[in-house]
Copies of this chain bind each other. A is one copy, B any other.
Amino acid sequence: MTDAMPSPLTVGQVAEQFAVTVRTLHHYDDLGLLTPSERTRGGYRSYSRADLDRLSTIVVYRRLGFSLEQIAALLAGPDDLIEHLHRQRANVTSQLGQLRALVTAIDNALEAAMSKRPATRAELQELFGDGFDEAHEREAEERWGDTPAWTQTRSRTASYTPADWTAIRAEADAVHAAFVAAYQSGAAADSPAAREAARAHRAHLHERFYDVDAQLHRGLGEMYVADPRFAATYDALAPGLAVYVRDAINAHADHQGE
């Protein structure tokens, strides 16, 4: 937690500090993208402070989705970063469009493959597992039965078809996956990736169950940490995830409020 590290570092130390693997550093060395400025007598790579600066630039560019070749060009020439960023944005936006079309296609396939009657309890249970049994539902009723959110939830979910429920389940899984991906990539709880996951989380609840404003969203985040059953659900996906989710929700809300 302190940066009182001696200046020349070994691969392992550098790897840990930048949350990359040793293999990645070897790879960058092979490509000539980041060659440590010294070697020890024994042949160990020895990274200077300047090497670390360069690496941090590389890591940032990588997070922006640049290829290693592009990064090398950016680091070498006085090329225009802004122009590269625009090209990159266009690429990513184009990919976004393709993916959105893909989701539409999948949804169409799903609709074609499924019947449209409202879902039975058995189907719900199969979809959501132990989390969706009668006891769970009765408790929710007792706990929130007189809140507007619960009323809204009851009226909206009553008409959902099996297709809707499986879509909802898929969305929920995707939201969880996004949180886990951000968390395990080492991104901070207020990083774009984490805030994006929080945004998706709120949008999911808002669209499928009940109106969620920033205030209520923060409350949910706190509950995920405070209520051991919610905490256990998240921590089962990745230890420490519940706290991360709460922090990401708060970061998202802060960011929106600006």
Contacts and interface: CB of A to CB of B under 8 A. Distances in A.
Interface in A96-134: 96-110, 113-114
A192 B101 contact: yes
A93 to B, nearest CB: 4
Given A85-B109, A103-B92, A104-B192, A98 B178 contact: yes
B96 A110 contact: no
Interface string A75-100: 00000011001111111111111111
B169 A94 contact: no
B89 A107 contact: yes
Contacts of A82: 110, 113-114, 166
B92 A106 contact: yes
B169 A86 contact: yes
Interface string A166-206: 11011101110110011000000000110111001000000
Contacts of A109: 64, 85
Interface of A: 63-65, 81-82, 85-110, 113-114, 166-167, 169-171, 173-175, 177-178, 181-182, 192-193, 195-197, 200
Contacts of A175: 97
Contacts of A81: 113
Given A88-B106, A92-B106, A94-B177, 17 more contacts: A65-B106, A82-B113, A85-B106, A85-B109, A85-B113, A86-B110, A86-B166, A86-B169, A90-B170, A90-B174, A92-B103, A94-B174, A96-B103, A97-B174, A97-B178, A97-B200, A105-B192
Contacts of A96: 96, 99-100, 103
